[in-house]
Amino acid sequence: MKVIDGHVFLGETIYVSQSPEVLIAEMDRLGIDVSVVVAPPPGPFYREGNQLVSEVVHRYPERLAALYRVNPHLEGEVKRAREELEGRGFMGLHLDPTNDDYWVGSPILEPVVRVAEELGAPVYVHSGDSIFCAPEDVADLASKFEDMNFITPMSRRAPRAAKGRDNLHLTTRPFPTLAFQRGYAENFDLDRLIFATDSPLGSPEIELRRVELAGLDLKVKGKILSGNLQRIAGI
């Protein structure tokens, strides 16, 4: 069964440190076929981080896919986002309203999102159960762009916020093992869950173990571990 890690940080900042060599070695050890990588925060500038990600993805094209980390505050960012999606190996955009200081419902966001919409690329939006970028706000954004796919992290409020938003998908860190074990899986749309570890902030080994302990049947397991992301992103 193919395994795709849907969200991994690659590079070195004050928050995160992960080299491509360490990442690939860990993927080999754990049986992860592909990882979706993105430059880590903090911003507001990500040119060097995005360049490193692009170079590494071209070095390991069968093992890595990339999200372009975009800051809509920056002049020329819409043009850069288009160029990166069209010809430099990026399969989607990554937005981080909390770290880059904007509201996910702000008009400054729409031009870069429309680029992704035009090119059929998914958009990852970093969110959580806080006032800075709540999952409900991401759901509102998804409702304005119904013909494209959004991805946002699992959180306490995210499943409820995503209800009725067929184009909003949730990454699984932490994987909701107990919800599956105790029969609460009806709270999730199994076609919109995407396995992700946020490595190195999260542990791929622990997240994979949580999947195994959840007792999923093979069809559901295949959807979450790779099928859902393959369907919306063509990885």
3-state secondary structure of 34: strand
Token readout for 180 is 């599956």
Local confidence band at 7 (pLDDT 50, 70, 90 cut-offs) = very high
Q: What is the mean pLDDT of residues 146-154?
A: 96
Q: What is the mean pLDDT of residues 120-127?
A: 97
Domain tally, the chain: 1
- What pLDDT, on a 0 to 100 scale, did the predictor assign at position 89? 82
Spatial separation of the C-alpha atoms in residues 221 and 2, rounded to whole Å: 10
- What pLDDT, on a 0 to 100 scale, did the predictor assign at position 187? 81
Is the pLDDT at 73 greater than 80? The verdict is yes
- Give the CATH number for residue 26: 3.20.20.140
Q: What is the mean pLDDT of residues 46-65?
A: 96
pLDDT in tens, 169-226: 999 999 999 999 998 888 899 999 999 999 999 999 999 999 999 999 999 999 999 9
Please give the sequence-ordered ranges of beta strands (E in DSSP) within the chain, or none if there are none: 4-9, 11-12, 17-18, 34-38, 64-69, 90-95, 123-125, 150-153, 168-171, 193-194
Residue 58 belongs to domain spanning:
4-233
pLDDT in tens, 15-34: 999 999 999 999 999 999 99
- What pLDDT, on a 0 to 100 scale, did the predictor assign at position 122? 98
